[in-house]
């Protein structure tokens, strides 16, 4: 079976690499730099296990890359995984999807087979039926269901665990536009996941599209909710949000995951998908205040770290501040909407001298902050001589730092653990001033 994956970002490249274990896959991207990098065996993003999968797929001749859409001809399944960023008003920008659909449609016009087109990108409800289907039909001169198939099948992988999630997903959601497409989609997934298919939800395309948005907006809400509780804890001596989340999470109706207080959510999905769902609701005359509050809590969460550090140091201007972790989370190099970048910009605005370390995201941080910060490969070099150190991503490298490392190296040993990676009992000892999100001692 031949597959084409259109869009080789975090979602598309990981999907292509995984599917190449069983099928012949061509990855298509309009970014010629990315395609030639991949052709040379260079992996443009950091994702655990991706490099090995790309290498083995290419070595077996199962995985190739191209800018040329004519390579989609002959594929029995064409997966669209291009980006769906936010417009300035928060609504979804569908231009990459419409561009890809038009280019695929032109190839369908000359295609002898009846391929299945699958929308993996996160798109607002109605996109498959009212945007992609008419575009494919117009450009190909063929009709959906007869000349080609179309199905919405949103992607749920998490960056940092993308390969694991693609190979062993919790569920597959499919929203075919016609019967033939539903059958073809299920057959692809069954062959790929054989002998044990994950649970499959087959529904309308609109439901499939909305399941994705509802899932991400719900996860964002959970994070902002626990950050709201953290704020209450910070006014309450004796309170600790970690204990509250633990106690709440034991209730199976609530669950423990995504109930970790911290600097807020970032990355390529939760912020933009929450904004897009809110904009979609507003367009339909609905009240968007629930998601507005979720975003407001998230937007102001880094300020709380700034204020706490400012108060502890007696001002930020001229102070040397080390940020440990700039990726939006550990195990990723992605800095899109990272709370650490937001924090860095706010600290710079107050005149801080910034130092940054991250095992994988220094390049991304440089793109965002340029010469306004100094960058360090090693965490120990980054905190050496600093007035405050703030942990913004839970990398294993940072967990290895001991309280005495901070005391020995820093000018004023002040540690703000925004990810709760350290046990406060051990880190509160001696000369180290230790602060964390959602603890009564910030009161
Ligand atoms: N990143 C994630 O963790 C994740 C998880 C689940 C779902 N998604 C969804 O998957 C989609 C892709 O996300 P991403 O993070 O991989 O995006 P990305 O920005 O990392 O990558 C998009 C890629 O598409 C390419 N592209 C743009 N227009 C194109 C076109 N017309 N033809 C071919 N290639 C084109 C770009 O050059 C880029 O390489 C989004 O809708 C996103 O919401 C992402």
- pLDDT tier for residue 355 given thresholds of 50, 70 and 90: very high
pLDDT confidence of residue 336:
98
82, 96 Cβ separation under 8 angstroms: yes
Residue 5 exposed, middle or buried by CB count within 10 Å (0-12, 13-18, 19+):
buried
Distance 378 CA to ligand 1 centre (A): 31
List the one residue out of 439, 325, 330, 321 whose CA is nearest residue 373.
321
**Average pLDDT score, the chain:** 97
Give the separation between CA 410 and CA 403, rounded to whole angstroms: 11
**How far is residue 82's CA from residue 350's CA, in Å, rounded to a whole number?**
37
Q: How far is CA 215 from CA 279, 298, 315, in A?
A: 16, 17, 40
Choose one of 13, 18, 29, 67 to mutate for the ligand 1 pocket test, by most ligand atoms within 8 angstroms of C-beta.
29
The alpha carbon of 94 and the centre of ligand 1 are apart by a number of angstroms equal to 11
Reduce the DSSP state of residue 173 to 3 states and report it.
strand
C-alpha span between 401 and 330 (Å, rounded): 16
Q: What is the DSSP string of 288-301?
A: -HHHHHHHHHHHHH
The answer to whether residue 441 scores a pLDDT higher than 90 is no
Active site residues: 269
Q: Using CA atoms, how far apart are residues 382 and 3, in angstroms rounded to an integer?
A: 45
Any long-range contacts for 52-60 (C-beta under 8 Å, 24+ apart)? 53/17, 53/18, 53/20, 53/21, 53/163, 54/13, 54/17, 56/21, 57/16, 57/17, 57/20, 57/21, 57/25, 60/20
Give the position, in ligand 1's atom list, of the atom nearest the Cα of 28: 33
The predicted pLDDT at position 430 comes to: 84
Decide if 381 contacts 322 (C-beta within 8 A). no
Ligand 1: residues within 6 Å at CB? 6-12, 28-31, 34, 81-84, 96, 99-100, 121-122, 155, 157, 159, 268-269
- Per cent of the chain over pLDDT 70 is 99
Locate tokens 């190099």: which residue? 333
Residue 336 structure tokens: 């899109």
pLDDT value of residue 333: 97
| β-strands 2-6, 433-436 pairing | unpaired
- Give the pLDDT band (50/70/90) at residue 442: low
Share of the chain above pLDDT 90, in %: 97
Q: SS3 for 430?
A: coil
The pLDDT tens digits of the residues spanning 202-241 come to 999 999 999 999 999 999 999 999 999 999 999 999 999 9
> Which tens digits make up the pLDDT trace of 73-113?
999 999 999 999 999 999 999 999 999 999 999 999 999 99
79 DSSP β-pair partners: 5, 118
Is the pLDDT assigned to residue 277 strictly greater than 90? Answer: yes
pLDDT in tens, 362-412: 999 999 999 999 999 999 999 999 999 999 999 999 999 999 999 999 999
What pTM was computed for the model?
Answer: 0.96
Rounded CA-CA distance 279/31 in Å is 29
CA of 346 to the centre of ligand 1 (A): 29
Atom 30 (ligand 1) nearest CA? 100
pLDDT, position 25? 98
């Amino acid at each position: 079976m031949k597959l084409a994956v259109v869009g080789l970002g975090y979602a598309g490249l990981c999907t292509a690499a995984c599917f190449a274990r069983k099928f012949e896959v061509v990855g298509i991207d309009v970014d010629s730099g990315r395609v030639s990098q991949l052709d040379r065996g260079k992996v443009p993003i950091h994702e655990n296990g991706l490099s090995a999968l790309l290498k083995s797929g290419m070595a077996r001749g199962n995985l190739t890359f191209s800018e040329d859409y004519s390579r989609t001809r002959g594929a029995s399944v064409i997966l669209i995984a291009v980006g769906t960023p936010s417009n300035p008003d928060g609504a979804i920008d569908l231009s990459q999807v419409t561009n890809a659909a038009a280019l695929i449609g032109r190839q369908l016009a000359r295609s002898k087979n009846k391929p299945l087109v699958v929308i993996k990108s996160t798109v607002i409800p109605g996109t498959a039926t009212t945007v992609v289907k008419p575009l494919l039909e117009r450009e190909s001169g063929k009709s959906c269901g007869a000349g080609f198939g179309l199905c919405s099948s949103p992607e749920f992988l998490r960056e940092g665990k993308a390969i694991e999630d693609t190979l062993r997903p919790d569920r597959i959601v499919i929203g075919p536009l016609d019967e033939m497409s539903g059958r073809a989609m299920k057959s692809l997934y069954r062959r790929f996941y054989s002998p044990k298919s994950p649970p499959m939800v087959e529904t309308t395309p609109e439901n499939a599209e909305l399941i994705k948005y509802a899932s991400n907006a719900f996860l964002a809400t959970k994070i902002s909710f626990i950050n709201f509780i953290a704020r209450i804890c910070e006014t309450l001596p004796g309170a600790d949000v970690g204990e509250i989340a633990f106690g709440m999470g034991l209730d199976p109706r609530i669950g423990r995951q995504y109930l970790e207080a911290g600097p807020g959510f970032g990355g390529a999905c939760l912020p933009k998908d929450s904004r897009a769902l809110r904009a979609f609701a507003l367009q339909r005359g609905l009240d968007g205040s629930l998601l507005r509050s979720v975003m407001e809590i998230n937007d102001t969460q880094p300020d709380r770290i700034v204020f706490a550090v400012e108060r502890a140091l007696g001002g930020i201007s001229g102070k040397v501040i080390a940020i440990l972790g700039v990726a939006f989370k550990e195990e990723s190099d992605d800095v899109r909407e990272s709370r650490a970048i937001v924090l860095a910009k706010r600290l710079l605005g107050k005149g801080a001298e910034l130092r940054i370390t991250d095992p994988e995201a220094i390049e991304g941080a440089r793109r965002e902050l340029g010469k306004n910060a100094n960058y360090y490969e090693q965490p120990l070099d980054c905190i050496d001589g600093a007035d405050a150190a703030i942990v913004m991503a839970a990398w294993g490298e940072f967990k290895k730092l001991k309280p005495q490392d901070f005391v020995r190296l820093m000018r004023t040993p002040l540690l703000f653990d925004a990810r709760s990676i350290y046990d406060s009992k051990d880190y509160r000892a001696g000369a180290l001033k230790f602060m964390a999100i959602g603890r009564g001692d910030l009161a």
